[in-house]
Amino acid sequence: MDHIVTLNAGSSSLKFGLFARQGDAPVPICTGLVDRIGGAEASVSLRGPDGGKLSEEVSDMIPDHESAQDRVLTLLQRQFPAARIAAVGHRVVHGGPDNDRPIILTPDGLRALEQLEPFAPLHQPYNLAGARAAMGRFPEATQVVCFDTAFHRHHPWVNDTFALPTEYYDIGVRRYGFHGLSYQYIAGHLAQTAPELHSGRVIVAHLGNGASMCAMRAGQSVGSTMGFSALDGLPMGTRCGQLDPGVMLYLMEQKGMGAAEISDLLYRKSGLLGLSGLSSDMRTLEQSDTTEARRAIEYFTFRARRELGSLAAVLGGLDAVVFTGGIGENSARVRAQICADMAWLGIELDAQSNDASARVVSTAASGVQVMVIPTNEELVIARAAAEMSA
């Protein structure tokens, strides 16, 4: 039987999966996570299809994504030596203006995607490093790339452009939107389990170390908080989120900072880490009693509330809000702060359901249904890999 491996690199994590291909449908065998890459207590966990733990270890020997990818591929080959890898599916954050669906990766395609690394420097190099490693480890396998930007490629023009001279739009300076694989999964999940909501107006909040929100009408993206790069919109673990461009001009002209220094500041030293001076991890901040940690959480939720109202205006109303991602799925405190005093928008949270992270966390009387749905980007990637390698 043929098998599919999925690799999904985030800014501080690597999710992975092994799937058996039965016809065109991938059947999960295991999923795993390398978490807190580069930290003192990085962890590698492997779970079966029922969620049961197969293995877990803590290590300080995972300094970077390349080491994490090597650990994952070695672990899968050791745990499942009989697996015959027919395809490897990769999450690649940026597909540029033309890629609106998955592609089979070739050496020429890899070189083309390398040209997009300046658009997503915190992700694209790691995504492509994983692809190179898999091409070397599984040379006979079909390498399939799924783009986070693809889900948003048919935005209305007004949400796709900046108010710059049009020649900049023509060369690719536009709003791309990201986290598309997560949004695609949620859209498909709603289509199967809540078709009346899927056909309506839904805002999905993908909140994790990277964070964004997406307005969907009938399962299609019509607005996103992220723009040209994965810096825009909400504050994130180490990324600043929305920032007045004048701040960058000030840093260059008055503080003498160069492009590399500013990039390091905005991508790696800002967000929750910069505000708290403590950590980029929401779990750590929620356990802290410092004023800075509290303020970081308050700013995070304030920006999410602001974007929630903006996206509701884009949709012309609201039928449902879905929380997903590591923070969205697990932090009752963050969900409560975002939804507080939102009765004017039709949102009324049920405290007990929210504390339990139930599927529906709004009250029965709430005009807008608020849901918690775990995302599954690996399944989206595996489906594409199965279809394109058949």
Find the mean pLDDT for residues 42-69. 85
Of residues 225 and 74, more confidence is placed in: 225
Would you kindly state where each structural domain of the chain is located, as residue ranges?
2-147, 195-372
What average pLDDT does the segment 32-48 reach?
Answer: 86
Q: What is the pLDDT of residue 211?
A: 97
- The answer as to CATH 3.30.420.40 being correct for domain 2-147 is yes
pLDDT bin (cut points 50, 70, 90) of residue 50 is confident
pTM, two decimals, is 0.92
pLDDT of res. 11: 67
User: Which one is catalytic: 60, 70, 148, 319?
Assistant: 148
pLDDT digits (tens, 9 = 90+) for 248-292: 999 999 999 999 999 999 999 999 999 999 999 999 999 999 999
Mean pLDDT confidence for 62-88: 87
**Same CATH fold assignment for domains 2-147 and 195-372:** yes
Residue 10 confidence (pLDDT) above 80 = no
Task: Specify the range with the lowest mean pLDDT, choosing from 96-100, 119-123, 290-294, 365-369.
Answer: 119-123
Between 278 and 230, the higher pLDDT residue: 278
Question: pLDDT-derived band of residue 358, with 50, 70 and 90 as boundaries?
Answer: very high
148 is annotated as an active-site residue: yes
Q: How far apart are CA 196 and CA 216, in angstroms?
A: 13
Render pLDDT for 168-188 as a digit per residue (tens, 0 to 9): 999 999 999 999 999 999 999
CATH code for the part of the protein at 195-372: 3.30.420.40
User: What is the model's pLDDT at position 122?
Assistant: 76
* Long-range CB contacts for residues 115-119, cutoff 8 Å, separation at least 24: 119/94, 119/176, 119/228, 119/229
Cβ neighbours for 281, distance < 8 A, ≥ 6 positions apart? 36, 209, 237, 272
Residue 23 has pLDDT above 80, yes or no: no
| Banded pLDDT at 229 (limits 50, 70, 90) | very high
- Bridge partners (DSSP) of residue 201 are 217
Q: What whole-number distance in Å separates Cα of residue 187 and Cα of residue 150?
A: 14
- How far apart are the C-alpha atoms of 94 and 178, rounded to whole Å? 8
Q: Nearest to residue 280, comparing CAs of 320, 323, 248, 326?
A: 326
Cα–Cα distance between 103 and 110 in angstroms, integer? 11
**Mean of pLDDT over the chain:** 94
